[in-house]
Amino acid sequence: MTDIGGLEKFAPRLHPAVLADINQWVGHGELGKLHARLNGHRTLKSFLDTWAEAIVARHLLRRDCELKLEVPTPGGKACDFQVTAGAEPFYLHVKRLDTQRPAHKRLTISSRLRYLERINRPYVVGVRWQEGASDEQMQRLVRSAADFIMHARVGDELLVHGDDGREIGGVLIVAPWEGPHVSLAIGLPSGFIDEAPRLRKLLVRAYRQFMPKAANVILICSSQAEEHEDFANALLGSHVERWDAFPPRGRRIAHGRAADGFWHGQRYPDSAVSGWFRLAPQEESLGVKLWYRQGSPPDERLHRTLDDLFEVPGDSAGPARAGE
């Protein structure tokens, strides 16, 4: 039996137009190496690690960038890409966090949870519960959650149990937010998963591959749409309450970022811009979210170039900045 290449093996999982474009890279001096690496993979995990690089390369090529792959650094490492989209090139480092999770049945959202959204506290609140929970159990969860939310702080978590001692569900104060009332985020029955520590390790790995005395950009991807919040926490620091700061008008508490962020203080000073995107192999779009470091932003030309390349909307909330 002939051993088939990774691109053929995993083709049903891939967007056909993207696959067709990448298959045209055969024999191309630089891109041919990436095509060969994709075909050489036999496991889905290793294939997707390289697929992340490939779809970023395709995105940049479609925007008339010139690419060089695996550019060596003086320290014996290699940058994934040297990207030229103007006068000065920048160096791009692409990493993937494997967050493939078992499929769960679609949860039926109890209307009782709507009560929590009326609570006058400006927090994103994660709520999870066991599948098959009865109406009586959901009432208990909501009553306990409401009492908890009224006095809890960012990062606090509550577990709710029934009379038999079995866990019904949980509540987590995830982060502050701009609205006057609670905003609910639904968690998996298995619990709240914080990927920030793993994402932080990837940021450090990418930093060790930086090209000295040059502009370097880190792009990290993962599989779940909500993980851009975990990435922001990894980059900027976990949300914390700041009793040493003045709260915004109309608020009693100020919020800030903890010292565990990749960009905290003078940590990793050569990193000024980073981004995250959701890796969805069956989709064509990239959807990069960019963050720029407060106090040490990149060159203004690079800033504009990156916004153009990754189609950052000019009327959006704007790139997040360290310390926000």
**E strand spans, 32-111:** 66-72, 78-84, 90-96
pLDDT for res 71: 96
Q: Please state the pTM of the whole predicted model.
A: 0.74
Give me the torsion for CA of 153, 190, 95, 8, rounded to 10°: -160
How far apart are alpha carbons 198 and 235 in whole angstroms?
A: 11
Whole-number Å distance between alpha carbons of 39 and 72: 23
Q: β-pairing, 216-222 with 90-96?
A: parallel
Q: Bin 19: left if φ > 0, else alpha if -120 < ψ < 50, else beta.
A: alpha
Residue with tokens 């997040």: 320
The pLDDT value recorded for residue 290 is 95
Provide the strand spans (E) within the chain.
66-72, 78-84, 90-96, 123-129, 157-161, 167-176, 183-186, 216-222, 239-242, 254-257, 273-278, 289-292
Tell me the C-alpha distance between 128 and 23, whole Å: 43
Q: For residues 258 and 276, what is the distance between their CA atoms, to the nearest angstrom?
A: 20
- The whole-number pLDDT of residue 260 equals 77
- Name the 3-class secondary structure at 243: coil
pLDDT in tens, the chain (324 residues): 457 889 999 999 999 999 999 999 998 888 999 999 999 999 999 999 999 999 999 999 999 999 999 999 999 999 999 999 877 899 999 999 987 654 444 445 667 788 888 898 888 888 888 877 888 888 999 999 999 999 888 888 889 998 888 888 888 887 787 778 888 877 665 556 668 889 999 999 999 999 999 999 999 999 887 788 889 889 988 765 544 444 455 555 444 566 778 998 889 999 999 999 999 999 998 899 999 998 876 788 899 999 999 987 543 334 444 433
Positive or negative torsion for Cα 227, 231, 232, 233: positive
Take residue 310 and report the two structure tokens written for it. Answer: 């990754």
- Residues 6 or more apart from 13 whose CB is under 8 A from it? 44, 281, 282
Mapped onto helix, strand or coil, the DSSP state of residue 191 is strand
**∠ CA 90-293-234 to the nearest 5 degrees?**
100
What was the pLDDT predicted at 245?
45
Angle subtended at Cα 127 by Cα 126 and Cα 132, rounded to the nearest 5 degrees: 155
